[in-house]
Amino acid sequence: MARVTVSQGLKGALRIGQTMTVLGRTGLGWVRGHRPPAPRMLRETFESLGATYIKLGQFIASSPTFFPREYVDEFQGCLDRTPSIPYTSIRRILREELGRPLEEVYSEIDPVALASASIAQVHAARLVTGEEVVIKVQKPGVETVLLTDLNFLYLSSRLVETLAPKLSWTSLSGIVEEIQQTMMEECDFIQEARNLDTFRRFLQDTHNEEVAVPKVYHQCSTRKVLTMERFHGVSLTDLETICRVTKDPERTLITAMNTWFASLTQCEFFHADVHAGNLMVLDDGRIGFIDFGIVGRIRPQTWQAVSDFIGAVMAGNFDGMADAMVRIGITRESVEVTALARDLRNLYQSMDRMVPDDSASEWQGADTDDEVNNILMEVVRIGEDHGLHFPREFALLLKQFLYFDRYVHILAPEMDVFMDDRLTMLH
């Protein structure tokens, strides 16, 4: 964990002052009787604190293996949309980063941002050589704010662990360190450019011509500026428009899912943020994967255990589910697999989602995304009750599965993702 608060100087001190002011205001509101439910109060406080805490809120929203359900649900509303900064600031950053007149690189840049988030904003442009591109520009001062905030959070989490030793198993400080690593990777556009290049090679090596990632223009990219090929298309959830560019939306979705599943074992990483804004159906019918700022890596043995878990769910094999969960999780004590299997069986019987039978059994699935999420979190809770602690990679995988589940509901509501032979999830 980088210890940089002091080295950030006055800016770091000012940021800590801002943080304490917001926290003090929240505490004062509590004393005066403004007492919303704790999850909502925390989300509102995080949104007031800005970039780092919004990202932390999104981490909570995507981590049912780490946080209570009511907090995971509440932070689904923690959106990373922030006002754009003036175009004059964008031009200044571009000149400083590229080290040459912008007219030598871009023939035009749209001064109106295509998108603006807490870390960066994106502008459409055209290179002097004629290619349409988008420029992702890191906002000024972002790294100072992130590092200052994360040091404050790290020291606070260590203090909590010291005062409450029983919480050391949850490793709050370890979670903060992992968040820091993720956020710092998002701030390093050179690493994101490498990720794009690596995924492009994966597509080439697997002879996948139905999926594309933006080409990186390295000659006009730096750690804070990323110039990429511009994709034209629509979100994967825009069914009406998708039907204009592909005759078979279901097959399009299957292509996207199979590509992602293949990356789990055939690429150095998997895309760890496949929300609708990062998966596009391009005008030529191909699938476009964009935004590789967040990626995940999973060990082959962990993915095998996840695959076995899914297979056990399909078969209604509770002993198999329990065994796979033990292999996925991390534990400091022996786990009684039989007892874990019994609790899983009771869960599915009580929720009437799975009906075990000696001759045949099938998972009935969930009618809504919320129900799927609830089932997964209940399974995780049961595992934790038996001493299992699931790694971050498992939480990332669960989140992507939930995204794909939503896409199935929209594009292919009749498809059974567990039984469809066109899907290579378990092959």
Length of the chain in terms of residues written? 427
User: Do 245 and 285 form a contact (C-beta atoms < 8 A)?
Assistant: yes
Tokens at residue 146, please? 């992130």
Q: Exposed/middle/buried for 45, CB within 10 Å: 0-12, 13-18, 19+?
A: middle
CA distances from 24 to 40, 56, 247, 335 (A): 17, 20, 56, 44
Check residue 100 and report its DSSP letter.
S
CA distances from 179 to 1, 139, 184, 408 (A): 10, 19, 8, 30
Tokens at residue 289, please? 């994967």
Q: Which of 261, 275, 332 is nearest to 303 (CA)?
A: 261
User: Do 125 and 110 form a contact (C-beta atoms < 8 A)?
Assistant: yes
What gap in Å lies between CA 425 and CA 253, rounded to an integer? 13
Give the rounded distance of the alpha carbon of 151 from its chain centre.
22
Can you give the three-state secondary structure of 344-389, one letter per residue? HHHHHHHHCCECCCCCCCCECCCCCHHHHHHHHHHHHHHHHHCCCE
Tokens at residue 211, please? 């999926």
Is 273 designated active site? yes
Q: CA angle, corner 67, sides to 65 and 70, nearest 5? A: 120
Catalytic residue among 73, 149, 273, 308: 273
What gap in Å lies between CA 389 and CA 240, rounded to an integer? 42
Q: Which of 229, 232, 230, 282 is nearest to 256 (CA)?
A: 282
Q: Which of 238, 191, 256 is nearest to 422 (CA)?
A: 256
Check residue 1 and report its DSSP letter.
-
Which residues are annotated as catalytic? Answer: 273
